[in-house]
Copies of this chain bind each other. A is one copy, B any other.
Amino acid sequence: MRDVVSTRPNIWGDVRLIASARSAGRSLPVRGKQVQVMAMSAEAFDGVDLAMFDVPDEVSAEWAPVAASRGVVVIDKSGAFRMDPDVPLVVPEVNPDAAFSRPKGIISVPNCTTLSMIVVIGVLHHAYRLREMFAASYQAASGAGQAGTESLYDQLTMVGGHRALGQRPGDVRLAVGDGGEFGAPLALNVIPWAGSLRPDGWSSEELKIRNETRKILGAPELRISATCVRVPVVVGHSLALHAVFEAEVDADQARKLLSEAPGVVVTDRPEAGEYPMPVDVAGTDPTVVGRIRRAMDDPHALDLFVCGDNLRKGAALNAAQIAELMVADAR
């Protein structure tokens, strides 16, 4: 968040850092200045225009309304309010207008997996009207926070380190106990699970993709199925999508529309080995899309592959873009 605030256009004036009492008093750099962290309190929000909340669901649930009641526009990255009908769920490239109807003074930021593909799907929905979508995700370890990244690093050291020390990688067999944050080894493995268990065997992450996509596109009847899978990647969520539209689609036209859309980069030259990949996307802002093909058996369907930085557009960047939207409107 601090990195994004420090490198985006300066809309910020004074920046306050507010955290739990445990972190209060520390100094951290923001836009080149050291800023002392304040402890969370109702008064800490006095005089604040915009607050970006990057805290667990239960902290947002408690404190976002407190800030909002003092006139602050709250941009909340947690899951606490995403499906609240009185809270808009906003992606500036897709549904900016929604940000201006916020009865609770709160605007929600979608989940990182939804955000890794929604800008692309928004463009295609606008052109062809989405009817149905199947998504399979390839989610990075950092989606599970710092602990997730460290678990993967530890496992990679076990696997690759042994070889550096003269053993063959096949000599190393990771056990369930090495899984750390993921409950199973992620190095040299894929884990078809992300989030918590919901009815009928769905994971919370899979329901978020469905419910958030419906809300952002304003299409409550959309048929969506997702299967969420964790892969041994540090940064960069990818999704393979099969999207069925009301209108007939054309791959070249879709490629052209996407290449002209803000926030999207088309990387689609498989003949040159160029497709969206986490290794290229990590640390960048756009959603990258490629492998764009019209389904061979359905002229209304596109198959594609998208990849986004789950820590940037997937979280901090989208929040900062909403803040910029507020300021542009106020001016």
Q: Which chain B residues border A270 with CB–CB below 8 Å?
A: 193, 197, 201, 203
> Which interface residue of A271, A276, A295 has the most chain B CB atoms within 10 A?
A295
Instruction: Write the nearest CB–CB distance from A58 to chain B, whole angstroms.
Output: 23
Indicate whether A37 reaches chain B with its CB closer than 8 angstroms: no
Beta-carbon contact of B169 and A163 below 8 Å: no
Asked if A164 meets B169 with Cβ closer than 8 Å, knowing A193-B275, A277-B184, the reply is no
Docked Cα-Cα span, A187 to B234, in Å, equals 10
Closest to A295 in B: B225
Q: Please report the C-alpha to C-alpha distance between residue A238 and residue B273 in the assembled complex, in whole angstroms.
A: 23
A136 on the B face (CB < 8 A)? yes
* Shortest CB distance A17–B (Å): 24
Asked whether, in the complex, the Cβ of B279 is within 8 Å of the Cβ of A188, the reply is yes
* Chain A residues touching B, majority SS: mixed
Total interface residues on A, using CB and 8 Å?
Answer: 72
* Pairs across A and B, CB under 8 Å, 24 listed: A134-B242, A138-B138, A138-B190, A156-B169, A157-B160, A161-B163, A162-B164, A164-B165, A184-B273, A184-B277, A187-B232, A188-B233, A189-B277, A189-B278, A192-B291, A210-B296, A223-B295, A223-B298, A225-B303, A226-B303, A229-B240, A229-B305, A232-B233, A242-B242
